[in-house]
Amino acid sequence: MHPAFSVIFLTTLIGVGQGLFLALYTGQLYSVFNVLPVQDSHSFYGFGSLLALVFLGGGLLASFFHLGHPERAWRSAAMWRTSWLSREVIVLPAFMGTTLLYGIVHYFDLNPVLFSISGAFTVDVSLMIGAINTLLAFSLFICTAMIYACIKFLQEWASPLTVINYTLLGTASGFTLAALFASFSQSELVGFYASWAIIITLAGFTTRVASLIRNAKIKYKSTLATAIGIRHSDIQQKSRGFMASSYNTREYFHGMSIVFMKNIKWLFLVLVFAVPVALLAAGLYQPAIAVFLLAFFVQYVGLLAERWFFFAQANHPQNLYYQTI
């Protein structure tokens, strides 16, 4: 397929926002159980939620650039019963709204205690809002990934690994940003976020490599023989459907060489996984804003390459006809 950069930025930016919120809420939960020190509600969770909203808003803005008629965008939610895209269109604003509410509750200290558990643990309004938003965050990961995983004739996408990778890579980038934010805020949670960013990044590496191995061994259901209904062991196509450029030749094939595809695969493996893990590990021993900033920047650039490769690797069956020259 031909990757649209608006979709690449949409999926990576909202992934960062989702991951950052999950990191913030995880830190708050740990503090409730006295595993981590309590953070300043006003500055840490308030501004942290605002930072998450910046990335979510950037992703939402990017989505409008691949719409032929942006003024009709609201119609995309109409098919929510059957369309994962419609579900994403509904869940994304809901998640943004609840993230905003979570930030407002913390920033303005509108956070009364609702009840306590065994007299030791208190549950306040922000914890309840955060729990609901956590469900929305994972729902959004599922909706976004299933837009592609549900397309069965694109065999590279039609796998549970698509959903797992979207979730892990988005969460990993969010926790890396959380480590940077904690370092900037001079919070005691720097090591907590950096450690979890390493763990989730390594988990993402395992599942992403698994998807690469799976895709390399795919036996395509569509062949020249099945396309034209001729059972023969030696069928050769000498020309394509259109002699000049057309929608079919532009939008369903990336147009890059095999060498380029191999290089970008190794590039994103290094940038998304190897380099950030090394930098985050270094940040655990010598915490510095510059180290975490570099880790997040490198990982996000790698995610752009990874997402480009994800879309480009999908081999549409129509390319059997239109991409032969």
Q: Which of 114-123, 161-170, 289-298, 307-316 has the lowest mean pLDDT?
A: 114-123
Q: What is the model's pLDDT at position 122?
A: 81
Q: What is the model's pLDDT at position 111?
A: 83
H helix runs in 150-241, sequence order: 160-184, 190-216, 224-228
How does residue 242 score in pLDDT terms, banded at 50, 70 and 90? low
Distance between CA atoms of 162 and 66, rounded to whole angstroms? 22
pLDDT, mean of residues 289-299 = 97
DSSP-based three-state secondary structure for 122: strand
CATH number for region 5-223+239-322? 1.20.1630.10
Distance between CA atoms of 122 and 116, rounded to whole angstroms? 4
243, pLDDT greater than 70: no
DSSP-based three-state secondary structure for 113: strand
How does residue 318 score in pLDDT terms, banded at 50, 70 and 90? confident
How does residue 107 score in pLDDT terms, banded at 50, 70 and 90? very high
Percent of the chain with pLDDT over 90: 66
Q: What is the model's pLDDT at position 181?
A: 97
Could you tell me the two tokens for 3? 């990757």
324, pLDDT greater than 60: no
Q: What is the model's pLDDT at position 325?
A: 53
Q: What is the model's pLDDT at position 142?
A: 98
Closest to 176 (Cα-Cα) out of 302, 28, 42, 267:
302
Mean pLDDT of the chain: 91
How does residue 205 score in pLDDT terms, banded at 50, 70 and 90? very high
pLDDT, mean of residues 166-178 = 98
Q: Please say whether the beta carbons of 24 and 49 come within 8 A.
A: yes
68, pLDDT greater than 60: yes
298, pLDDT greater than 70: yes
Closest to 95 (Cα-Cα) out of 124, 130, 146:
130
Q: What is the model's pLDDT at position 157?
A: 94
pLDDT, mean of residues 197-217 = 97
Residue ranges per structural domain of the chain:
5-223+239-322
How does residue 233 score in pLDDT terms, banded at 50, 70 and 90? confident
